[in-house]
Amino acid sequence: AQTVTQSQPEMSVQEAETVTLSCTYDTSESNYYLFWYKQPPSRQMILVIRQEAYKQQNATENRFSVNFQKAAKSFSLKISDSQLGDTAMYFCAFTTNAGGTSYGKLTFGQGTILTVHP
Amino acid sequence: DSGVTQTPKHLITATGQRVTLRCSPRSGDLSVYWYQQSLDQGLQFLIQYYNGEERAKGNILERFSAQQFPDLHSELNLSSLELGDSALYFCASSAQGMNTEAFFGQGTRLTVV
């Protein structure tokens, strides 16, 4: 069974600063995807960034980037130039297509509450 | 807007009752997933349907059931409700195949009193 662990229940950062959220996972699969989702107070689950396990290059999306360490099974999210709108719960998630069930079946971490202070 | 529609947004009901949550996936998406988000259990996968057939099952209670209809909308039925069933229930949809992500609806907040 796959597990995803986020060891930081809460984090805070000053506006315009950089913050890194940690995530580790455990799997025996070789082909999988990792995601970071953002859940603001509106409760909507918003995909922030995606990383394919077969790609060595770390994914980036504007101010968001990941540090994917496959051997260590680590997948951290770096938010640069933090903005007040980044305040949200952030979830790390894992999925694989084992058994051909497609990639929408996600295993989530416990979440990290990020607060950006002005 | 993710394109996934869930109704109702809020639901308050009494213990022992039965409710039905509805989800309309994005146009063209064949897979529908249901998730439960609660304070003590976090975000948990419940069940997946693909083109009308059950494809995968997670931590779904026997009191809960789901189905996907020919028009691809899905319903999650929760019966004999208990206080502990109070949670946010998400539906997500995805296309079949590689490189597909799950798009989430806004959720249904269920409160059992």
Closest to B50 measured CA to CA, from B100, B110, B111:
B100
Chain B residues within an 8 Å CB radius of A35: 101
Q: Which residues in chain A are closer than 8 Å to B96, comparing Cβ atoms?
A: 102
Contact A108 B94 (CB under 8 A): no
CB contact under 8 A, B100 and A44: no
Over residues A44-90, the pLDDT tens digits come to 999 999 998 988 899 999 999 999 999 999 999 999 999 999 999 99
pLDDT tens-digit profile, chain B (113 residues): 889 999 999 999 999 999 999 999 999 899 999 999 998 888 999 999 989 999 889 989 999 999 999 999 999 999 999 999 999 999 999 886 655 678 999 999 999 99
Q: Distance between CA B107 and CA B94 in Å, rounded?
A: 16
One-letter identity of residue A57: Q
Alpha carbon of residue B23 to chain centroid: 7
Size of the A and B interface in Cβ pairs below 8 Å: 68
Q: Model confidence over A35-53: pLDDT tens digits?
A: 999 999 999 999 999 998 9
- Taking an 8 Å cut-off on Cβ atoms, the answer to whether B101 and A42 are in contact is no
